[in-house]
Amino acid sequence: MSLARAALLGASRSKFLADQMMRRSFARRAVKRFMPGETLDAALDAAAGLAHSGLGAVVTQLGENLTTLAEAERVRDHYLGVIAAIETRRLPAWPSVKPTQLGLDLSFDACLANLSALAERAQAARSLLWIDMEDSSYVDRTLDLFRRLRAKYERVGIALQAYLRRTPADLASLLPLKPIVRLVKGAYAEPEPVAFPVKRDVDFAYYDLGVKLLEAAAGPGAFPVFGTHDIPLARRLAARAAELGVKDGAFEIHMLYGIRAAEQRALAAEGHTVKVLISYGSAWFPWYMRRLAERPANVWFVVKSLVA
């Protein structure tokens, strides 16, 4: 892991830095590159704008590791409102949640109940509920949540992280469920025995996992979603999909708001299904540091944007 990436990931865990930076106007200006605003309305307005370019959206409220079940219930109610707002506005958008937002640190059963309420509402709205993956200490519990939800609801998806050494076995265990999987590279600080520390190894792992998903999709036995800004890698997987007979629409490409917008539109114009992850909320500092750590060169871009 590079020193810059390690420093940014370390900063993401600092409450002191979060408290300091979230009060600074220059930091708020910088984060606008990655999120259109702190409110749901801002996120949905951005989703509506993307729809005009043929792009879908995934929306997520920032925040994790809550301290009371009452907070988790408020998050659940917020997302019930998100699904309703998306349905009312007829947007091509889906919600994405972190289990810790819904009480996983406090009670597995309460978290499952909160997720079940969201999955049921998403199913009724013909939407889809994405379950994000957090750091490696949550993987087993998150997969357990997904398996339980998948037994009752078809319209629920799970994120898997290619940099974790365990992910090939996790994917193999999920394939009998015909899962909807968003494959990402991974953005948390993990020790070397747990995750590949070298980018090249992560890229190889990502491609191999992506091909396994596409082979299952040819069954069809999975719905692959490739969450990556690595355009050559995304195109290699799209080419492999064509070779396997997996048509456009039977897999998707997801990217973050504000990154490679031109490439997003170009991929959509070529017939690929592209969705953009739009984050919102006031608890943006840890998330923002992890986004910068994914590509430390973004720090220089942000600095230039502040002084331009």
Q: Is residue 116 part of a domain?
A: yes
DSSP states of the chain as a string? --HHHHHHHHHHT-HHHHHHHTT-HHHHHHHTTT-S-SSHHHHHHHHHHHHTTT-EEEEEE-----S-HHHHHHHHHHHHHHHHHHHHHT-SEEEEE-GGGGTTTT-HHHHHHHHHHHHHHHHHTT--EEE---SGGGHHHHHHHHHHHHTT-SSEEEEEETTBTTHHHHHHHHGGG--EEEEE---S---TTTB--SHHHHHHHHHHHHHHHHHHHTTT--EEEEE---HHHHHHHHHHHHHHT--TTSSEEEEETTSSHHHHHHHHHTT-EEEEEEEESS--HHHHHHHHHHSTTHHHHHHHHHH-
Q: pLDDT at residue 233 above 70? A: yes
User: Which of 134-148, 168-182, 277-291 has the lowest average pLDDT?
Assistant: 277-291
Q: Is residue 224 part of a domain?
A: yes
| Helices 167-174 + 139-150 axis angle, to 10 | 10
Tell me what pLDDT residue 91 has: 97
% pLDDT > 90, the chain: 74
Summary mean pLDDT of the chain: 88
Number of structural domains in the chain: 1
Q: Is residue 263 part of a domain?
A: yes
| 121-158 residue pLDDT tens | 999 999 999 999 999 999 999 999 999 999 999 999 99
Q: pLDDT at residue 296 above 70? A: no
Tell me what pLDDT residue 67 has: 87
Which CATH number does the domain housing residue 233 bear?
3.20.20.220
Question: CA–CA separation, 119 vs 132, rounded Å?
Answer: 14
User: What's the N-to-C CA distance of the chain in angstroms?
Assistant: 31
Q: pLDDT at residue 198 above 80? A: yes
Q: Is residue 83 part of a domain?
A: yes
Q: Is residue 305 part of a domain?
A: no
Residues noted as catalytic: 132, 182
Q: Is residue 303 part of a domain?
A: no
Q: Is residue 147 part of a domain?
A: yes
Under a CB-based contact definition with an 8 Å cutoff, are residues 203 and 173 in contact? no
Q: Which residue has the tokens 């704008």?
A: 49
Q: Which domain holds residue 95?
A: 3-21+40-297
Q: pLDDT at residue 63 above 60? A: yes
User: Whole-model pTM?
Assistant: 0.85
